Chains A and B, each alone.
Chain A
Amino acid sequence: MTNQREVAVTGAGAVSAWGWTLETLWRGLAAGATSVDEARRFDVTGQRTSLASEVDDDAAPPPRDDDAWRHATRADRFALAAVDEAWRNAGLGAPREEGVVGLYFGGSTAGMDEAEEYFAALIAPASVDYLRPRIARLATHPLNGPGDVAARSLGLDGPVITFSSACASGGLAVGAAVEALRDGTVDVAIAGGADALCKVTYSGFNALRAVDAAACSPFRAERAGLNLGEGAGALVLEPLERARARGAEVLAVVRGHGASCDAHHMTAPHPEGEGAARAIAAALADAGVEPDAVAFVNAHGTGTPLNDRAESRALATVFGERARTLPVTSTKGLLGHFLGSSGAIEAVATALCLRHGQVHPTPGRGPIDPDLAVDLVTDAPRPFAGGVAVSTSFAFGGSNAAVVLGAAPHAARRAESEP
């Protein structure tokens, strides 16, 4: 049974270490092998880890908008590619012909990589042969840069809003898009996020001792921290009735969202996952879904000891004893942590899992932590029963977001080769 509050996902796009398309994302998710490798973008000597999940710039598709592409930061390019793919997949016309189209984005670094270049040149001693600081490198440094660039490229005139609530940003952006559709503020919404690796975040998480020197192992007993990743995810959302009326293929539906704050600590999660549990419960209530109807959880699952434990406690609070048998996966276990855009790529990954009827696996070393009440999907994709999933995002500062997605009504499950 669907209701008017449900929102259809009619398009999706992705940029990740596996490639610049949705198809490469699903292939990688289904294969279940980590994309994390030696970092190459910048010197990581002296850091606690030398790993990252990096996007191959050379594999970028031909740009649709040459001017936008030429002046874009890497995060901008991720955003342009993911949004462009999502819009094309949705089979929509020119945005101005689709009513009011809004864009809701999440991110936490935007053009920081380019800003670092500028700053390095600015502070370089005269003896160092740096290029002269080029102010143009800062043009889209602000956090709203990737969302704005994507909106400009599509020629949108509806609301354009970027959230930067650290690692909850992407999930909050999806929630905002859903509300705008429910209110009738917009006719079509693009929800997503983009972030690129940069020295500030790489060094910052190293300084916090929050990184794993090896490929991360969410929910495993030997987990030691996260790996950083980069890329973008984007969803085209519209009211389910609108999608049906125009005969659009519905990839999945977004049924609800919720948010909360721990108000506990600037970086550490509440040890019992109290705020996280409230966000998940709020999302389920918003969706009108009982916890027993949830088929799997795409967890925040960073791989840090504290985060995974708090998330496990939160799941136990919401799902009770069933948490021990509820399939859980972590996209970060495969792609690393996209930070502000992680909620976006994980919403895309969740939609793909719902479309294929399989939960993607989470790689890692050693046994699953016996202290955590989770049924981690390992080794291979696992078929599931039911059609509802929860995607969670938890951030620095205690901001929590959860999104409830459902399988497309009457959807035929896709062959493994299809995105």
Chain B
Amino acid sequence: MSATAAHRPVVITGWGAVSSAGAGRDAHAQAFAAGGPRLQPIDRSAGYHRPHGARLGALVDSSDCGTWLPPRAARRMSPPSRYAVVAARQALEQAGLEGDLAATAVVTSTSFGPSSFTEELLRQILLDGPQDASPALFTEAVANAPAAQIALAAKARGPNLTLTQREAGPLLALARGAEEVAKGRAERALVASVDELNPILHAVLDRYGALAGSRGGDEIARPFDRDRRGAHASEGATCVVLESADEASRRGAEVLARVGPTIAGFDAAAPRVGWGRDPSTLARVLARGLERAAIDPHSIGLVAAGAAGSRAGDRLDALVLRQVWEERPLPTVLVPKAYAGEHGGALLAGTLVALDGAPLAPTPGFRHVDPSLDVVPFAGGIVPRPHRLLLSALAPGGSAAWTILETP
């Protein structure tokens, strides 16, 4: 297939997810209707943690994966690979796809890769000596192991890519997957965002003060709230099936959303491990991108914000939107990570549950409007189904991405 093929409209025809909410769309819908992520104490026995600080995280219950991934198949996979394959199988099932999937691209994103396998490998190397390093651990410690395992499970022989751009990665991966289909380099794409939370990663995030409870106080993430003090660390995967609108129509597949343009940019003033203070650079990038795509911001009926409870991150997210919307009120602001915690797949999972028409709890953790942001997130119920919505994902370090989705 030539990349000169006319660009084809691309649609989402299936999705799957695994997280602390459980495995599958129904489990996520039920959990998000009930409220925030299911938090559990993180194992502190390795001694990585400070005496005080955050203690909770939203973890996947591995028994939730069994229906989709037999233990024998999962045996040698890292947790992220397991999550990715489970989410991909769900997505393919919903899309009604089986059989020959060779012409399928796989695009994944991850923030930190397979943390537990990397940690275990390092322990072997540093404590037991390099001669005892496990080749099986090494093979699954690479960031693209989940993408490879999806390809093996689906026999997907199209382009296989893994992006690592922190919180902006999921939308950049979605854009890349859509591009593979739009340009005819693949018949369809499986796009997954996958992250693992293990004790050392939790401890490091806590030492950076990134988590609710890192600096004392209650351990509740409060996105956009006046009193927000950090996120809930979490893990899981969300995978979507992308295909051309024509192919979806030919197959009679249900179209969940059309994938519009993704706008990406960078805030060079951002510190290495935080968000920038001045929203003007990213606001200019977003406004420029919308203008080039001939999209009036006021035609956007819903924003799915990437806010997770960070003081600086939520602030930047809100102020960028405020600058682009100028004096006009923002549309309904959904905060998917309030329901699912901070992991790569959370943004898409929360958005897709909302687009399914499932009722959601009032935005978990939110109590008081931050007057400097003036954002009142979704108050609960069934999210009004907009024609056009904007997903927002700003990463510490400066990367940013926004994606337009349109509903049928």
CA distance A149 to B172 in the complex (A): 19
Q: Are A208 and B138 in contact (CB under 8 A)?
A: yes
Report chain B residues within 8 Å CB of A285. Answer: 2
Q: Are A142 and B166 in contact (CB under 8 A)?
A: yes
* Interface status of A131 (Cβ within 8 A of chain B): no
Q: Are A261 and B135 in contact (CB under 8 A)?
A: no
Identify which of A11-19, A199-207, A241-249 touches chain B.
A199-207
Contact of B133 among A207, A267, A286, A399 (CB under 8 A): A207
* Interface status of B125 (Cβ within 8 A of chain A): yes
Q: Are A160 and B399 in contact (CB under 8 A)?
A: yes
Report chain B residues within 8 Å CB of A140. Answer: 272
B9, chain A: closest CB distance, angstroms: 16
Q: Are B157 and A275 in contact (CB under 8 A)?
A: yes
Q: Are A161 and B161 in contact (CB under 8 A)?
A: no
Contact of B144 among A5, A148, A159, A164 (CB under 8 A): A164
* Interface status of A157 (Cβ within 8 A of chain B): yes
Q: Are B118 and A200 in contact (CB under 8 A)?
A: yes
A241, chain B: closest CB distance, angstroms: 18
| 8 A Cβ contacts from B163-212 to A | 163-166, 172, 176, 179, 183, 185, 200, 204, 207-208
Report chain B residues within 8 Å CB of A266. Answer: 139-140, 145, 148-149, 152
A187, chain B: closest CB distance, angstroms: 12
* Interface status of A144 (Cβ within 8 A of chain B): yes
Report chain A residues within 8 Å CB of B125. Answer: 199-200, 203
The number of chain B residues with a CB under 8 A from chain A is 76
Q: Are A267 and B139 in contact (CB under 8 A)?
A: yes
| 8 A Cβ contacts from B50-64 to A | none
| 8 A Cβ contacts from A192-228 to B | 199-200, 202-209
* Interface status of A135 (Cβ within 8 A of chain B): yes
Q: Are A156 and B272 in contact (CB under 8 A)?
A: no
Report chain A residues within 8 Å CB of B3. Answer: 179, 182, 286
Q: Are A139 and B272 in contact (CB under 8 A)?
A: yes
User: Which partner residue on chain A sits nearest B4 by CB separation?
Assistant: A5
Contact of B135 among A162, A164, A204 (CB under 8 A): A204
Q: Are B266 and A151 in contact (CB under 8 A)?
A: yes
| 8 A Cβ contacts from B251-295 to A | 264-268, 270, 272-273, 281, 284-285
Identify which of A118-126, A344-352, A364-372, A411-419 touches chain B.
A118-126
Identify which of A79-87, A299-307, A376-384, A390-398 touches chain B.
A390-398
| 8 A Cβ contacts from A154-174 to B | 154-166, 172
Contact of B165 among A47, A162, A278, A399 (CB under 8 A): A162
Residues of A within 8 A of B (CB): 5, 44, 46-47, 71, 102-103, 108, 116, 119-120, 122-123, 135, 138-140, 142-145, 148-149, 151-152, 154-166, 172, 176, 179, 182, 199-200, 202-209, 259-267, 275, 278, 282, 285-286, 395-399
The 9 tightest CB contacts between A and B, nearest first, are A397-B148, A204-B138, A159-B264, A259-B159, A261-B160, A203-B130, A143-B164, A164-B143, A207-B133
13 A-B pairs besides A123-B126, A148-B266, A199-B122 with CB distance below 8 A are: A46-B130, A120-B126, A157-B265, A161-B264, A164-B113, A206-B130, A206-B133, A207-B133, A261-B160, A263-B102, A263-B154, A266-B148, A399-B160
